[in-house]
Amino acid sequence: MTDVEIPADHPRYESLVTRHRIEAGIEKGITSRQGLIAQGRGEAFDYLLGERTIPSARAAERAAAALLLSADHPVLSVNGNVAALVPEEIVELAAATEADLEVNLFNRTEERMERIAEHLREHGATEVKGLAGDGRIPGLSHERATVDADGIGAADVVLVPLEDGDRAEALASTGKTEIVIDLNPGSRSSRSAAVPIVDNIVRAIPNVTRHARELSDAPIEELQYVIDSFDREEALEAAETAIRRGSFDDDGDAEADGRNDDAEANDE
Ligand code: PTJ
């Protein structure tokens, strides 16, 4: 199934490649089947956003880089979708910001935890947290509360991509600064984040890394300025507006906004 050739000249090539990476993740035992549903939801929002990084997301990505660089103990949380879509890129971001990588699953099984940790090591990670599972996010029941005490448990800044809303809210209420990557600006995860990045993770992670490299020698005052200049409410509103503008009119036709050649060519 995953060895299907996607023609490089297909107008929605990137989107189709992303979809196949999730399929491959399921076959490899790292992504949950629910990850497919999450991907479908994400794709719908990305389609309406024009499958591009909007300016407010770019500002969020820069603020996220500044936050990670100025943190005492930053942690990047990795779930089954993240591991399938951006394994090498998340390892690069961890290196660029000196952050820990922690496997943290909504549907936690030891087998999938091990496989994801191994997958990250295959893509260059030296240390992967999450397997100890000796800490808990307060306010959550069951296995989905499990974290590493010296990982997310001890972090001051946590990047949580594609997170379930309940967990994102519980984590934010512990006082940690939360950066969320989620294509839905109305989700509880986006709403609970100090820095919500409304962008596809396949674009967002390399963008944050690029900003982190640019800011790596910046004084703390400059990092603080980047963080303080970011307005989360404004960014969420800008994303909602972009989605509304990119949506379909009452007749079901794509609005003429300059990106519909691609949109209408979607014959998948
Ligand atoms: O691997 P696990 O067990 O930890 O499970 C991971 C999933 C993603 C299945 C789990 O956390 C889940 O069910 O998440 P939700 O509640 O479906 O939320 C996922 C959010 O991520 C949704 O708001 C989607 O719009 C968004 N999303 C999906 N794909 C992408 C995305 N955001 C950015 N980039 C994407 N590629």
**Percent of the residues in the chain that have a pLDDT greater than 90, as a whole number:** 81
156 contact partners, CB below 8 Å, separation of at least 6: 71, 72, 73, 74, 176, 177
20 contact partners, CB below 8 Å, separation of at least 6: 2, 4, 6
- Pocket probe mutation, ligand 1, options 162, 184, 187, 243, max atoms within 8 Å of Cβ: 162
- Pocket probe mutation, ligand 1, options 18, 81, 144, 201, max atoms within 8 Å of Cβ: 81
Question: pLDDT at position 2, please?
Answer: 46
Q: Where are the domains of the chain?
A: 55-243
Alpha carbon of 183 to ligand 1 centroid (Å): 9
Q: Which CATH number is 55-243 given?
A: 3.40.50.12640
Q: With a 6 A CB cut-off, is 106 part of the ligand 1 pocket?
A: yes
Q: With a 6 A CB cut-off, is 178 part of the ligand 1 pocket?
A: no
Q: With a 6 A CB cut-off, is 174 part of the ligand 1 pocket?
A: no
Model's pTM, two decimal places?
Answer: 0.91
Question: pLDDT at position 16, please?
Answer: 84
Summarize the confidence of residues 45-50 as an average pLDDT.
Answer: 94
Is 210 flagged in the annotation as binding? Answer: no
